[in-house]
Amino acid sequence: MTEKEIYGTEPAVRSMTRRTLMQGSFLTAAAMMARGFSLPAWATTPAPIVTMGKAKSVIQIWMWGGPAHLDTFDPKPEAGSDYSGPLDHPIETNVSGMRISELLPLLAKQGDKYSLIRSMTHGLYSHETASYTVQTGRLSGGHDVFPNVGAVVSLFKGYKAGYKGLIPPYIVLTEPQGRFAEEGFMGQQYKPFATGGDPNQARFAVEGVVVPGVTDQRQKDRRALLHQMDSLGNSLKDDPQVAALNTTERQAYELILGDAGKVFDLSQEKDELRDRYGRTTFGQSCLAARRLVEKGVPYVTINYNAGWDTHKQNFQTMRRRLPEMDKGLSTLLQDLSDRGLLESTVVWWCGEFGRTPKVAWEAPWNGGRGHWGSVFSAMVAGGGFQGGHVVGSSDARGEEVKDRPVYPLDLIGSIYRQMGIPADARLPHPEGLDVTTIPSKAEGLPMAGLLKELV
Amino acid sequence: MKKMWVTVAVMVTLVSGSILAQKPAAAKTAGFGSAGKVDPVYESAAAVVPQNRIDELVFAHWKQAGVQPARLCSDAVFVRRAYLDVIGTLPTQAETQRFLADTAPQKRSRLIDELLERDEFADYWAMRWSDTLRIKAEFPINLWPNAAQSYHHWIREALHEDMPYDQFAQAMLTASGSDFREAPANFYRAMQDKSPKTIARTVALTFMGTRAENWPPEKLDQMAVFFAHVGYKPTREWKEEIVFFDPTGEQGGVKRTAAELAAVSLPLNAVLPDGKKVRLAEDQDPRKVFADWLTTPENPWFSRAITNRVWFWLMGRGLTADPDETGPGAKVENAALLDYLQQELVRSHFNLKQIYRLILTSEAYQLSSIPVGDGAKSRANFASYAPRRLDAEVLIDALCQVTGTSEDYSSAIPEPYTFMPEGTRAISLPDGSITSSFLELFGKPARDTGLQSERNNSFNDAQRLHMLNSSHVQKKIQQGPALQDLARGAKNNDDLVNLLYLTVLSRSPSNDERATAKQKLQGGGRREAVMDMTWAMFNSTEFLYRH
């Protein structure tokens, strides 16, 4: 395989370098503006139409790799089989006129709970820059690396804002994304805690919280031994560094031996409910996410890295993976709703981009789809976002935004709004620069403003 | 501002002149005696007596501040400290025993000399330099794996071969060519953007030890002129990029209007950061003019930034509050000491190892971490060794070494260059994008900014949980072949306890510790007891911190 294939330049433009691609994509954004899309900045949005939201938590379903918008929430059977492939029978949801992929029948029954944004755009085509932009709203290549949504939420809703849980305020289920430093310039304390382990195993061995094969008694004995053996620690008790070590130890044991860690004990849930979520890593991650927000954890990311980067054999992957996503995500929405948590929990689903609408049938792709940043889809539910709406649209073949472009900052800013985080709240910058959660118009980033249709 | 520098430079020269004329230091300054009982595990009973000029300057500072120094550290503390600080590697049990058994009076300085020549010295310091220079294939630096690795390789070789520091800086600042073939040219690529201003800021941070964002804007604009002719162009090879001197200024990292191009058109009058005016000729690469100014021995910015940084790296605290700000406005804790170090660097023809050697063989470096009197004051005056949590990479390497296990490292870029062979040590990873969840959790720098503060070694809850209770660490203890060999090879319980302490904590146990350990061994299953003791040692302050 060549490097290009592995790294994933989409087949349609694979003769171009990534550099020219990037330039091309920025032109796309500029061209959109020229075509008359107005770009009012957040700062100049007229006085708030709604009051700040009251959502308490966010669950982010991160579709690592970028799933095809045409095969999920923006089906285009009318464009012909070169676009829709074999998935050309989308189904109606319980909201009339809102169609989604035929592989998502359970989500189709809950269209009233979520809304779709079919006009997401940023014009970026490589994983790392697109992942960064979708989750920070900023463009890469400036002076700073900005914090992502999870880090910002954990700043404004975490320990400094009165959160007292022993579970860290920003959790990733289960492996880190590994694309960029989520905390950006804000520093290490805003890094997410990645659980490791697999919630679909008999015991969800969250790294550090649950270690299989060590009984509580042995935990206690070992701890006593540690105190007895920590000679230098006893000599340096007054050193602030060492004192911090002792504080973290106390907190760690509250989590290991106390009740807080039980949030990861999925066996406390009824088998029937666990089955409904699906006995898959994703399904049980959704269940774990619900348990976490139930305990007040402000931000949970499910890093759903399940082969969505479908350069090859896209449709096989869709048939294999979408049913598991359908089961997990639909049960999550239902379960949150049944428990009265949906109102206070934002759920957002998005990848770094969509995929090439025109299927690459030829070898070596064999029905693959490349990266596509001109238009893609996102889903939002709960936390005060209205369900049953479709925001914006793509053109007949799903290649460009047709109307109402939504930029990553618009979605992010709307989530902040629902969480009660003001657009002009300052972020702690190491050089003391004046940086706000949502940039001012002067910074020139593309934005269209709040998702008014949904709040 | 400029005037101040001139004065300092003159003073430095005077000080150095007097040094050359000096008699051996020890005769001049009286030693300090320490109060209280000696803890033989961590402390030495020997009096603290100045060994070199650093000590004289540090001792004088203590007197002034009214601080009592800590005792000297014990040999066992020293051997562990020296290995961790100089080569980022735990001494093996055999290395520790050899050092402890050595009776030569000069054994500490001999060990320093040995360690400075080890391959791991180059590995470990190439890691620090790679943090500082942001060597990372992936976002946001995007060097791409093979360029990142050729860059890292070049730095490692430069350290290994003792390349004089002025040449090291010159090579990077004046490099032209392909990122794959002319490794130092990556200096101009390892930045978030390639505008002349960003290059100037990066050069200021890296080689002048100052944050240009705090400068008056016109001063940064003046410096940016020297980097206005750095051109970049792609080649037909995937991800190859040529850095070159572009006299027209057209192919730089920013698009310029005709007027802007005219403004940077050579020849040109330019102003150096010290205010000196120079004429940039038509056929002259302004980077070379800048680099020559920068590395001239009389330029205080250059030597000050690096000596302060080396002091910060070895002592855990710089002579200025922020190790990345040593400019004229920065308050220096012991100005005479910094002047002396600068002068020594120049005198040794920019041999950095000479500065390492001077610091590491000083008494100031060899103090115990247990302070006498007010701890904060003691640390602030370098009157005791500052304990610091081990770096993420050093910690995982130490855990692997003790247990005989290895780690998997991978990159988000599934490229052949990013596949690391089994047994690769974390300190030798060539590219910041090659990582593991352990390294991320324990604060391996993101290599976004090059600031020293990116590496945060304070303990947090998640790290503590991982050490206390993760299956990752538990598995190493349970299945580590080196530990099993140790337990099998021990002649009796006494021997076992001794070996375990030497292997994990680089020292023999005290009588109390031996008694506790033997009791534990007799109390139940031997295998479980060894595991639990290893676990307790891994979680002790002594293991987790350099001390």
Q: What is the pLDDT of residues A386-425, one digit of tens each?
A: 999 999 999 999 999 999 999 999 999 999 999 999 999 9
HSE-CB at B511 with a 13 A cutoff on CA atoms is 2
The enclosing domain of A74 has a CATH number of 3.40.720.10
Boundary-marking domain end, from B239, B274, B295: B295
B258 and B345 in a single domain? The answer is no
pLDDT tens readout for residues B456-495: 888 888 899 999 999 999 999 999 999 999 999 999 999 9
- In this complex, which of B387, B389, B459 lies closest to A236 when CB atoms are compared? B387
Q: Residue B445 is part of which domain span? A: 392-546
Confidence band of A381 (pLDDT split at 50, 70, 90)? very high
B195 and B263 in a single domain? The answer is yes
Residue A253 lies in a domain: no
Q: Does the CB of A132 have a partner CB in chain B at under 8 Å?
A: yes
Residue A240 lies in a domain: no
Answer yes or no: is pLDDT of B511 > 70: yes
Q: Which residues contact A441 (CB under 8 A, 6 or more apart)?
A: A41, A42, A43, A44
For the ranges A178-182, A374-378, B125-129, B180-184, the lowest mean pLDDT is seen at: A178-182
Give the per-residue pLDDT at B152. 98
B14 and B78 in a single domain? The answer is yes
Answer yes or no: is pLDDT of B69 > 80: yes
Residue B125 lies in a domain: no
CA distance A250 to chain B (A): 9
Q: Give the H/E segment covering residue B172.
A: helix B165-173
Quick one: how far is CA B275 from the chain centroid?
Answer: 31
What is the number of domains present in chain B? 3
Q: Does the CB of B248 have a partner CB in chain A at under 8 Å?
A: no
Q: Residue A269 is part of which domain span? A: 10-210+265-454
Give the per-residue pLDDT at B34. 52
- In this complex, which of A140, A239, A241 lies closest to B140 when CB atoms are compared? A140
HSE-CB at A222 with a 13 A cutoff on CA atoms is 27
Question: What residues of chain A lie within 8 A of the CB of B527, using their CB?
Answer: none
Structure-token pair, residue B87: 């080569």
CB atoms within 10 A of CB B22: 11
d(CA A441, CA A50): 21
Question: What residues of chain A lie within 8 A of the CB of B510, using their CB?
Answer: 231
d(CA B125, CA B127): 5
CB contact under 8 A, A229 and B537: yes
Give the per-residue pLDDT at B4. 44
Q: Tell me the residues of chain B between 192 and 231 that have a Cβ less than 8 Å away from chain A.
A: 192-193, 198, 211, 213
B45 and B161 in a single domain? The answer is no
Give the per-residue pLDDT at B1. 40
pLDDT tens readout for residues B296-341: 999 999 999 999 999 999 999 999 999 999 998 899 999 999 999 9
Q: Does the interface predicted TM-score (ipTM) exceed 0.90?
A: no
Residue B130 lies in a domain: no
Residue A188 lies in a domain: yes
Check: CB of residue A327 under 8 Å from CB of residue A283. yes
Give the per-residue pLDDT at A52. 81
For the ranges A12-26, A191-205, B314-328, the lowest mean pLDDT is seen at: A12-26
In 3D space, the residue among B155, B87, B161 whose CA is nearest the CA of residue B124 turns out to be: B87
Answer yes or no: is pLDDT of A295 > 50: yes
Q: Across the A/B interface, how many CB contacts are shorter than 8 Å? A: 198
In 3D space, the residue among A175, A169, A174, A179 whose CA is nearest the CA of residue A134 turns out to be: A179
Give the per-residue pLDDT at A42. 46
Boundary-marking domain end, from B358, B386, B414: B386
- Tell me what percent of chain A is helix, strand and coil, each rounded to the nearest 5: 40, 15, 45
Residue A257 lies in a domain: no
pLDDT tens readout for residues B377-415: 999 999 999 999 999 999 999 999 999 999 999 988 877
For the ranges A33-37, A326-330, B9-13, B469-473, the lowest mean pLDDT is seen at: A33-37
d(CA B205, CA B212): 7
CB contact under 8 A, B464 and A132: no
Answer yes or no: is pLDDT of A50 > 90: no
Answer yes or no: is pLDDT of A48 > 50: no
- Parallel, antiparallel, or unpaired for β A91-92 and A99-100? antiparallel
Check: CB of residue B85 under 8 Å from CB of residue B57. no
Residue B372 lies in a domain: yes
Confidence band of A27 (pLDDT split at 50, 70, 90)? very low
Residue A315 lies in a domain: yes
B98 and B36 in a single domain? The answer is yes
- In this complex, which of B238, B461, B516 lies closest to A3 when CB atoms are compared? B238
Q: Tell me the residues of chain A between 237 and 256 that have a Cβ less than 8 Å away from chain B.
A: 238-242, 244-245, 248-249, 251-253, 255-256
CB contact under 8 A, B510 and A231: yes
Confidence band of B23 (pLDDT split at 50, 70, 90)? very low
CA distance B470 to chain A (A): 4
Sign of CA dihedral B344, B347, B349, B354: negative
d(CA B179, CA A338): 57
Question: What residues of chain A lie within 8 A of the CB of B532, using their CB?
Answer: 218, 221-222, 225
d(CA A172, CA A304): 10
Confidence band of B279 (pLDDT split at 50, 70, 90)? very high
CB atoms within 10 A of CB A394: 25
Give the rounded percent of residues in chain B with a pLDDT score beyond 70: 94
B283 and B311 in a single domain? The answer is no
What is the number of domains present in chain A? 1
Residue of B nearest to A251 (CA): B461
Q: Which residues pair with residue A299 across a beta bridge? A: A58, A170
Question: What residues of chain A lie within 8 A of the CB of B440, using their CB?
Answer: 176, 178, 191, 194
B145 and B291 in a single domain? The answer is yes
Check: CB of residue B537 under 8 Å from CB of residue B75. no
Check: CB of residue A300 under 8 Å from CB of residue A346. no
B346 and B427 in a single domain? The answer is no
CA distance A222 to chain B (A): 6
Quick one: how far is CA B188 from the chain centroid?
Answer: 22
Answer yes or no: is pLDDT of A19 > 70: no
Coil, strand or helix at A212? coil
Question: What residues of chain B lie within 8 A of the CB of A197, using their CB?
Answer: 471
B275 and B366 in a single domain? The answer is no
Residue A228 lies in a domain: no
Residue A87 lies in a domain: yes
Boundary-marking domain end, from B365, B386, B407: B386
B213 and B333 in a single domain? The answer is no
Give the per-residue pLDDT at A46. 40
B222 and B88 in a single domain? The answer is no
Answer yes or no: is pLDDT of B21 > 70: no
Check: CB of residue B54 under 8 Å from CB of residue B364. yes
Interval A2-23 mean pLDDT: 31
Q: Which residues contact B259 (CB under 8 A, 6 or more apart)?
A: none
Check: CB of residue B325 under 8 Å from CB of residue B205. no
- Parallel, antiparallel, or unpaired for β A57-63 and A299-303? parallel
Q: Report chain B's mean pLDDT, rounded to a whole number.
A: 91
Interval B102-117 mean pLDDT: 97
- Tell me what percent of chain B is helix, strand and coil, each rounded to the nearest 5: 55, 5, 40
Q: Which residues contact B492 (CB under 8 A, 6 or more apart)?
A: none
B159 and B242 in a single domain? The answer is yes
